[in-house]
Structure 1
């Protein structure tokens, strides 16, 4: 609790919570990141964290002090993963945003065959080290629950990261890519 001088010369109380203090310290750290869009994104995620105390966002910075990779998941995503994360699917949109960063969506299905989103990531690059970083953060946020099966498009960097981070999980190709590979095989 802090005290502040009032207009009449008296003192009043200014109340703040641990969360307020955390937000202030974190905003000071963000001031060191020079990219305005990055600061806006982190600020947006902080606002979400104020509404959802389970919300988690983690990021890396590049050597030139720009956003490297960013992972985030909210409380509902964590609950859904706990219940339905035995099969984890993820895919990257191939740099279709203005920053040319791959957007990764982690998802699965529930018992009603509805898609459940478990988390998102913007990656610096599609490399083994970035996929490894995001998978380690996903596991950490999800209380180290390891999926039994991981379904991807078969990207080589994804495969290598899955083998390192999730060695007990079975890696499978998604049906669309299996069909695409079969059709391509028929043409040759």
Structure 2
């Protein structure tokens, strides 16, 4: 064992990185195929992609036609919450969620972001508003994230955030 030039942990990390790097291109194609299938069944389905300088997906957001319609009725108070890098790509996953008149959660949009910097969030929030083709929410409940607070203040200055 002492002659092996790496640890089990470093091998595991290397394999994980290799899998992520190889999966990137194929998974983007698979994702676009799934989006095309959904779009064929739901003409109001929409998605947005922001690429980085190497033409890799930096941010990816999507919403169904039903979600977009729900925003028109229940978009006055929404939440935006991200998980912290709990997926294969080590990217935060965020959900925009509203509450309908039956006090049920309604998923309005999903987003995979490369990071939670102010720059990324300043892409996320206007794209969300564009997808919803509506006015900004009156209130947004969010994580305790300074970058998110700054982005919301800049993009949706009339929106109260807590």
| Structure 1 and Structure 2 fold alike (TM over 0.5) | yes
- Which one is further off, 44-53 or 60-69? 60-69
Structure with larger RCO (C-alpha < 8 A, sep 6+): 2
| Paired residue secondary structure (2:110) | strand
Are 2:151 and 1:161 aligned?
yes
- C-alpha distance in 2 between matches for 1:121 and 1:99: 13
Which residue of the other structure, out of 133, 142, 151, is the alignment partner of 2:123? Answer: 133
Which blocks of at least 5 consecutive residues in structure 1 are unaligned? 1-33, 173-188
Over residues 77-133 of structure 1, what are the superposed CA-to-partner deviations in whole Å (9 max), with x where a residue is unaligned?
Answer: 001111000001010000000100000100011111100110000001111111111
- C-alpha distance in 2 between matches for 1:62 and 1:43: 21
Q: Residue 74 of structure 1 aligns with which residue?
A: 64
Contact 2:72 2:134 in 1 (8 A): no
Q: Residue 100 of structure 2 aligns with which residue?
A: 110
Which residue of the other structure, out of 102, 122, 135, is the alignment partner of 2:112? Answer: 122
Q: Residue 74 of structure 2 aligns with which residue?
A: 84
| Paired residue secondary structure (1:77) | helix
| Paired residue secondary structure (1:35) | helix
| Paired residue secondary structure (1:157) | helix
Q: Count the aligned residue pairs.
A: 139
The ranges of structure 1 where at least 4 consecutive aligned residues each deviate by more than 3 angstroms after the TM superposition are none
Which residue of the other structure, out of 84, 87, 98, is the alignment partner of 2:88? Answer: 98
